[in-house]
Amino acid sequence: MGDQHGISAWRWLFIIEGIISIVICGIVWFSLPRSAEQAWFLNEEEKALMRARKARDARFKGAAEFSWKFAKRAFTDPFVYMTASLLFASSIPLFGFTTFLPTMLRGLGHTGLEANYLSTPPYILASISLISWTTLSDKLNKGALVAMLAPLPCILGYIIIVGTPKGGAGYAAMFLCAAGIYPYNATLLTWVSNNLAPDDKRSVGIPPFASRANISGIVASQIYTPSGAPPT
């Protein structure tokens, strides 16, 4: 966009994205029903199905009111802290890859414009990989196993990047990295959510678990330093 009305282009990016988020949140706030029984977009048969599912899942949800007993269990459960450490570690390459992919492509010899449009195809493969791995995890009901296997393409991709400072092999490695980074985090989040019950424990356990992933952004911002850039 360039400079418009005295505002830099990068500032306009945040303004536009912020306005879109505010508008969508406003629509959701007034249109989202309080419960499935009150959903205007469901017919009577679908509402009956939702009531049956709620009755089926009642044993996983605990009491109708919040209980600090389950909150204490969430804070003292080693499973939460173990998986939070895994998510912290896996989010470092995720944030690093997302932030520095154009920079890495420029390091492979591409111009700034080329780096921008070449950064799109790896995300297309990442989307396909994400859907494939998470579907497999759901069908096998083996979240831990899938979480162990999903990062293998990413590991291979980074090995190729380290050994290939330039050329098409380095760009191909970006696809492997993208294919392995995103499915792991999604599978891990689902695995943890499915293994924290009832709802009170899940509601308390998920925020500290997920917040550790955001903290990893501090580390990710420091892993691609100028001294580690490939020769140009």
pLDDT digits (tens, 9 = 90+) for 28-77: 888 888 777 788 888 888 888 888 887 776 665 655 566 677 777 777 88
Q: What is the pLDDT of residue 49?
A: 87
Spatial separation of the C-alpha atoms in residues 232 and 229, rounded to whole Å: 9
Q: Bin 70: left if φ > 0, else alpha if -120 < ψ < 50, else beta.
A: alpha
In a domain, 4, yes or no: no
Range of the domain at 208: 67-228
Same domain (yes/no): 39, 74: no
Q: What is the Cα–Cα distance from 122 to 2, expressed in whole angstroms?
A: 27
In a domain, 60, yes or no: no
Q: Could you tell me if residue 180 is inside a domain?
A: yes
Task: Examine the domain organization and report whether 150 and 50 are in the same domain.
Answer: no
**Whether 168 and 207 share a structural domain:** yes
Collapsed DSSP state (helix, strand, coil) of residue 227: helix
Report d(CA 159, CA 170) in Å as an integer: 10
> What confidence score (pLDDT) does residue 7 get?
80
Q: Hey, what are 164's tokens? A: 């290939």
Q: What pLDDT is recorded for position 121?
A: 92
Residue 82 has pLDDT above 80, yes or no: yes
Helices 152-163/78-107 angle, 10° precision? 40
In a domain, 61, yes or no: no
Judgement on whether residues 72 and 40 belong to the same structural domain of the protein: no
Give the CATH number for residue 140: 1.20.1250.20
- Which tens digit of pLDDT belongs to each residue from 154-212? 899 888 888 876 678 888 888 999 999 889 888 888 888 887 777 777 777 888 778 77
Number of domains in the chain: 2
C-alpha to C-alpha distance for 130 and 128, rounded to whole angstroms: 5
DSSP for 125-136, please give it: HHHHHHHHHHHH
pLDDT value of position 232: 47
Q: Which residues of 77-102 are buried (b: 16+ CB within 10 A; e: fewer)?
A: beebeebbebbbebbbbbbbbbebbb
- Give the per-residue pLDDT at 210: 80
Does some domain include residue 186? yes
Q: Which amino acid is at 9?
A: A
Which tokens go with 159?
A: 């090995």
CA 109, 112, 117, 120 dihedral sign is positive
Domain check: are 223 and 201 in the same one?
yes
Quick one: 139 and 220 in the same domain? yes
